[in-house]
Structure 1
């Protein structure tokens, strides 16, 4: 009987760790030149998705940040990411009286050294299946803008150019058909 209880506990623990990986995601963030400038860690909570942003290299001050509709970050302007993620067809802006885009978030602030450490929420959004999943279809992206989102202007809060982008792919491992090359392979050829 003890062996049975231990086996069930191990199975439940492995299932739980598997579901944790499906409810957490780390997104690498890149600037228009293709340099990695930080990360966004997404975590599924009961009330939505928590987004922990760590960035460097931004101009000091406030910057708009949103989830956009496609997981495509082609620099330098990142227009490939499309518009804000808006499955309910709402107007833009966290201060809009009739509700906002699902992908709208509060502004982030870069300090005097251009660093950002922020914890944000995407209420009602999910990493699981469904209409409000930011992983539905191919996924989405997270974009940081040049200026502050005013919270009301249509269609995007007049937050300016797109500076930083991270792809939130539904299948982050299945989209790459090429494996990275090993630069040391040429060393072996040269030694012979």
Structure 2
């Protein structure tokens, strides 16, 4: 028994340096971490188009002089226009109460669109008509492009009452206060407002 114990001790003693030099087992590999997916870009808020209308505008000779468009929004109606072949200078521009444009004087368009029965003009203490809009400044080339909006009760739907409505360009500028037309003079162009299909 003593011999066997001595032999075992001798073998262990001889092997100790070898065991000491044996490389340590590598640590277990950390589990691979997944690269986080990029956060999705926030979806763009798409505002559905509101109800729309347009008015092809013609002069007293029946010649096309451009177009005016209307788009309903929650805050009011956006009104845009591109007109050409008009006399240079300032011209009154209104929505009129009847959708009829008979040349040459366009009197068939009636007075200003005025369902609230107010006086004419944004500078009038008793104004203004729903159909009153800012003057147009036509360049020397006879062209004008504009964007404006109405927030005083105008809606695209209201333009299509029993007799419709029209847009009218006048010979002179609107003084924004003289009732009932702003001293805007005669009518040189007119366009019946038409519904647009969605």
**Structure 1 residue 136 displacement after superposition:** 1.5
Please state whether the residue corresponding to 1:93 is helix, strand or coil. Answer: coil
Number of residues of Structure 1 aligned to a counterpart in Structure 2: 151
Tell me how far apart the structure 1 counterparts of residues 57 and 194 of structure 2 sit (CA, whole Å): 13
Kept after mapping to 1: 8 A contact 2:54/2:194? no
Q: Which residue of 1 aligns with 2:180?
A: 155
Give ranges in structure 2 of 5+ residues lacking alignment: 1-46
Distance 1:48 1:135 in 2: 16
Instruction: Measure how far apart 1:92 and its partner are.
Output: 0.2
Q: TM-score of the superposition, structure 1-length normalised?
A: 0.73
SS of the equivalent of 2:95 reads strand
What SS does structure 1 have at the residue aligned with 2:160?
coil
Q: Does 1:113 align with 2:141?
A: yes
Give the deviation of 1:169 after TM superposition: 4.1
Aligned to 1:186: none
Q: What is the CA RMSD across the aligned residues, in angstroms?
A: 1.9
Instruction: State the 1:98 CA deviation.
Output: 2.6
Higher Rg: 2
Match of 2:71 in 1: 43
Q: Distance in 1 between matches of 2:115 and 2:141?
A: 36
Q: Structure 1 stretches (4+) deviating beyond 4 angstroms?
A: none
From 73, 80, 86, the counterpart of 2:108: 80
Structure 2 length as normaliser, TM-score? Answer: 0.71
